[in-house]
Amino acid sequence: MTQAAPLTMGQQFGRRSWAEPWKIKMVEPLRMISRQERQAALSEAGYNTFLLRSDDVYIDLLTDSGTSAMSDRQWAGMMLGDEAYAGSRNYYNLESAIQSYYGYKYIVPTHQGRGAEHLISQAAIKPGQFVPGNMYFTTTRLHQELAGGVFVDVIIDEAHDSASLHPFKGDIDLDKLTALIERVGADKIAYVSLAGTVNMAGGQPVSMANVKALRGLCDRYGIKIYLDATRMAENAFFIQEQEDGYASTPIAAILREFCSYTDAAWMSAKKDSLVNIGGWLAVNDWDLFEELRNLVVVYEGLHTYGGLAGRDMEAMAIGIAESVQDDHIHARVGQVRYLGALLTAWDIPIVQPVGGHAIFLDARRFYPHIPQAQFPAQTLAAELYLDSGIRSMERGVVSAGRNKETGDHYYPRLELTRLTIPRRVYTQAHMDVVAEAVKTVYDARERTRGLRMVYEPKYLRFFQARFERLE
C-alpha cells in the first residue's frame, strides 16, 4: 500500500498553492466527546447520522446544505431586512440578482429547494408522464413521483462507475434520451430534468457541449429543459477548467451561458448561494410563471416572500453575487480536492474524479465483504462517527429507497458515503484530521460488520431509518 506523504495542491497541479480569499472574523468552538459517549450517541441514533445531535458531532460533514458561513456583507444585509408581508425591497434585490446571474425572466421564491421542486413538479407533470434526468436526486424524484411522473435515468454509463475518469460524468446520454422519446412519444415527456452538478454521482459536472446538444435534441421534439441549479456555480468551475474554449471565461459568464440553454430552473440556495435557508424557481415562460406564482401562495407564502423572511432574501441576493466569484469557487473546489488528494495518496477508494461539493467514499470497495443488503455505506458513516466524531452520510441503497411497484429496494450501482464540505467553514487542518480518521477506519475494515434496518419510514427513508449492528 502506498504511504507517500500527500502532495500540496501546488505540487499536485504543478503551480503555487492557493489560499481562501477571506479571513476568519468569528469562530464557533468545537467539542469532541469520548468514544464511550459516541458509542452511546450512535446507538441512541439507530446508527443513522441524521439522528445524531449536532452537539455530539466534532466535524460535521453531513451536508453542504445550509451549513455555509455567511460573509460580513451577508450579515450586514440581514440587518436590512424589509419584513413587509408584500413587496419587500429584499425580494426585488433577489429578483434582480437571479435575473442578472442566472438570466431567467420570472422569479418565485421558496423556502428551500424541495419547496421549488414541489411546485414545478405539480405545475409541469401530468400523471403518467415520464421525466428523464441525469441520475435521480432523492427529493427531486419524490416530488416528480408524487405529481404522477415516472423518473427515467438517462445519464451516461460512466456516471455509475466510481472509477471512470470521464471529466463530465454528469452528461446526459442523448441516445438513451432519444430512445425514450421514440418509445413513448414526445408528448409523454413532461420535461428533461437536468442537474448540474450531479449530487448522487459524486458531484459530477455536465459539460457545455452536452447541454448545447441537449438543447438541439429537445428543440427537435418540442421538449422543455428544466435545470436543478443547486450547484451550477460549481459546475461552471469544471467547465472553465476542463472544457475547450472556457479557460479564460469567468465563472459568472459560464453560468449564464449554461442557463441560457434551459427553459427554467429551480434552486436550493442553501448550497451554492451561501445561505442557511432559501430557494427559488425561475422561468422564462409567462404562463408557467403565472401558475407557479399562484401555487406558491398555497404551499409556501406570498409570491414576494415564498416562506422566507426579508432578511433571508437579502442574504441570498448577496450570496449569489459572492458565489460566482472565480477566487471563491477555486478555493471551494480546491478544498474538496485537497481532501481527495490525501485519501487518494493512501489508496482509499473514492469516486474519481473528485467532484464539486464532497468526497464520496466507495463503500463497495471499502467493505467488499459486506453485501449491499447489509448497508455498507451506512455502516461506514457509523464507523467514521464512532472513530472520530466526524459526521458523514449514506448515499447508497438506503438513500435509493424502494421501487413503488415491486416493493424491493432499489440497488444502485453506487454505494457511497459522502463527506460533504460546507463552504467557508473548515480549514485545511480539519481536512487532515478527516483524512486520518478515514484511514483509521479503512485499516480496521476487515473486522467491520454490516447493519440491519429495524425501522423504515415511508418517504425519504434515509433521513429517519434506524439500524442495528449485525453480530
Instruction: Spell out, one character per residue from 246 to 285, where the chain touches ligand F0G: x when CB under 6 A holds, - when not.
Output: ----------------------x-x--------x------
Residue pair 206/214 in contact by the 8 Å Cβ criterion: no
Span of 109-117, 177-185, 254-262, 347-355 interacting with ligand F0G by CB under 6 A: 109-117
Please give the angle made by the CA atoms of 116, 296 and 401, to the nearest 5 degrees: 35
Binding of ligand F0G by 230 (CB under 6 A)? yes
Q: Which amino acid is at 331?
A: A
Nearer to ligand F0G, 111 or 439 (CB): 111
Longest dimension (CA), the chain: 62
Calculate the dihedral angle through the C-alpha atoms of 83, 87, 90, 91, rounding to the nearest 10 degrees.
130
Gap between the Cα atoms of 214 and 284, Å rounded: 18
Q: Would you call 438 exposed, middle or buried from its count of C-beta atoms within 10 A (0-12, 13-18, 19+)?
A: buried
Residue 181 or 265: the one with the smaller Cβ distance to ligand F0G is 265
In whole angstroms, how close is the CB of 470 to ligand F0G at the nearest point?
27
141 a catalytic residue:
no
Are the beta carbons of 133 and 151 closer than 8 angstroms? yes
Element (H, E) at 255: helix 251-260
Judged by CB under 6 A, does residue 113 bind ligand F0G? yes
**Residue 228 a catalytic site member:** yes
Q: Can residue 362 be called a binding residue for ligand F0G (CB under 6 A)? A: no
Stretch that binds ligand F0G, among 9-17, 108-116, 125-133, 148-156 (CB under 6 A): 108-116
Please give the C-alpha separations between residue 234 and each of 15, 28, 342, 355, 395, in angstroms, as whole numbers. Answer: 21, 26, 21, 9, 20
Q: Taking the complex as a whole, how short is the minimal distance between the CB of residue 302 and ligand F0G, in angstroms?
A: 20
Q: Which stretch binds ligand F0G (CB under 6 A): 12-20, 134-142, 233-241, 383-391?
A: 134-142
Q: Is 362 a known active-site residue?
A: no
Identify the active-site residue in 141, 271, 423, 424.
271
The CA distances from residue 458 to 218, 361, 431, 462, in Å, are: 35, 27, 35, 10
Nine cell digits for residue 138: 432523492
50 assigned to active site: no
Q: Does residue 138 carry a catalytic annotation?
A: yes
- Give me the least distance between CB of 65 and ligand F0G, in Å please: 4
- H or E stretch including 361? strand 358-362
Closest distance to ligand F0G from the beta carbon of 279 (Å): 5
Q: Would you count residue 379 as binding ligand F0G (CB under 6 A)?
A: no
Interface with ligand F0G: number of residues (CB under 6 A): 15
Point out the residues that are catalytic. 85, 137-138, 228, 271, 395, 462
Binding site for ligand F0G (CB under 6 A): 63, 65, 112-114, 137, 139-140, 195, 199, 228, 230, 268, 270, 279
